Amino acid sequence: MKLNRKILKEFNKGGKVTVRSELVNKLGFDSNFFTHYWKNNKGDVYFFVYEYGFLKLTEHNIRKYVLIKWQDYMDNRK
């Protein structure tokens, strides 16, 4: 999980970014390891490694990840 967090942090400098999965997978990212998940109103499920999240996506037969950072509004306990 430590490596996953490091990779997500490195690629997500602006708060939200899309990257090809092959790029992060080459560095050792494993989407099977995460700490929690969050489902948005559209039904998309974002998986998080602590405060850094990712959404698996396929566009034009290219696998990608949408990377985001945890926001206060995502906390359902409020």
Residue 26 exposed, middle or buried by CB count within 10 Å (0-12, 13-18, 19+): exposed
| pLDDT value, residue 78 | 45
Write down the pTM of the prediction: 0.91
3-state secondary structure 7-53: HHHHHCCCCEEEEEHHHHHHCCCCCCCCCEEEECCCCCEEEEECCEE
What are the pLDDT tens digits along the chain (78 aa)?
999 999 999 999 988 999 999 999 999 999 999 999 999 999 999 999 999 999 999 999 999 999 999 998 888 654
- In DSSP terms, 45 is beta-bridged to 39
